[in-house]
Amino acid sequence: MVITPSSPSPQRPLDKESIRLVAKAEKVDPTVLARHVGGGSVVIMRRGDRCVGIGRGLRIKVNVNIGTSNVRSVPHEEVKKAVVAEHCGADTISDLSMGRDVEETRRLIFSHTSVPITTVPVYQAAAEQGIEGMDARDILDTVRRQAREGVSSMVVHCITRDILEACRREGRVLGLVSKGGSITAAFMLHHGCQNPFIEHFQEILGIMRSCGIVLSLGNSVRSGCIGDGWDQAQDEELHTNLALAEEAHRAGVQVIIEGAGGHIRYDRIASTIRRYRDASRFPLFVAGPLPTDIALGLDHIAGCVGASAAGAAGADYLCCITPAEHLGLPTPAQVREGLLAWRIAAHIGDLARLGLDMQDRKMAEKRALMDRKGQISLALDPEAARTSGADEETCTMCGDFCALRLMRRYLKGPR
Contacting a second copy within 262-281 (CB under 8 A): 265-267
Q: Contacting a second copy (CB under 8 A), which of 225, 232, 246, 275? A: 225
| Residue 8 contacts residue 110 (beta carbons within 8 Å) | yes
DSSP string, 94-109: EE---SS-HHHHHHHH
Stretch that binds a second copy, among 54-62, 102-110, 276-284, 307-315 (CB under 8 A): 307-315
- Listed in sequence order, the DSSP H helices in 226-317 are 232-250, 266-279, 299-313
CB closer to a second copy out of 7 and 387: 387
318 near a second copy (CB under 8 A): no
What are the φ and ψ backbone dihedral angles of 12, each rounded to 5 degrees? -80, 160
Least distance CB 305 / a second copy (angstroms): 5
Least distance CB 182 / a second copy (angstroms): 4
Give the integer Cα–Cα distance in Å for 314 and 53: 15
| Residue 9 contacts residue 49 (beta carbons within 8 Å) | no
AA letter at 291: P
Nearest Cα to Cα of residue 187 among 144, 231, 240, 138: 138
Q: How many residues sit close enough to a second copy to count as binding (CB under 8 A)?
A: 111
Give the integer Cα–Cα distance in Å for 68 and 78: 7
177 near a second copy (CB under 8 A): yes
Give the integer Cα–Cα distance in Å for 364 and 266: 29
Question: Please, which of residues 4-33 interact with a second copy by CB under 8 A?
Answer: none
Least distance CB 325 / a second copy (angstroms): 8
Stretch that binds a second copy, among 22-30, 134-142, 178-186, 243-251 (CB under 8 A): 178-186
Query: Using CB under 8 A as the criterion, what x/- string covers residues 123-152 for binding a second copy?
Result: x--xx---x---------------------
CB closer to a second copy out of 267 and 278: 267
Give the integer Cα–Cα distance in Å for 285 and 298: 22
Q: Contacting a second copy (CB under 8 A), which of 2, 202, 278, 414? A: 414
Pairing of strands 50-55, 42-47: antiparallel
CB closer to a second copy out of 108 and 225: 225
**361: burial class by Cβ within 10 Å (0-12, 13-18, 19+)?**
exposed
Question: Please, which of residues 63-92 interact with a second copy by CB under 8 A?
Answer: 69-72
| Residue 101 contacts residue 71 (beta carbons within 8 Å) | no
Stretch that binds a second copy, among 142-150, 197-205, 274-282, 291-299 (CB under 8 A): 291-299
229 near a second copy (CB under 8 A): no
Least distance CB 34 / a second copy (angstroms): 29
301 near a second copy (CB under 8 A): yes
181 near a second copy (CB under 8 A): yes
CB atoms within 10 A of CB 72: 11
Query: Using CB under 8 A as the criterion, what x/- string covers residues 369-408 for binding a second copy?
Result: ------xx-xxxx-xxxxxxxx-x-xxxxxxxxxxx-xx-
108 near a second copy (CB under 8 A): no
Give the integer Cα–Cα distance in Å for 82 and 92: 10
Stretch that binds a second copy, among 21-29, 38-46, 136-144, 221-229 (CB under 8 A): 221-229
DSSP string, 273-290: HHHHHHH--S-EEEE--B
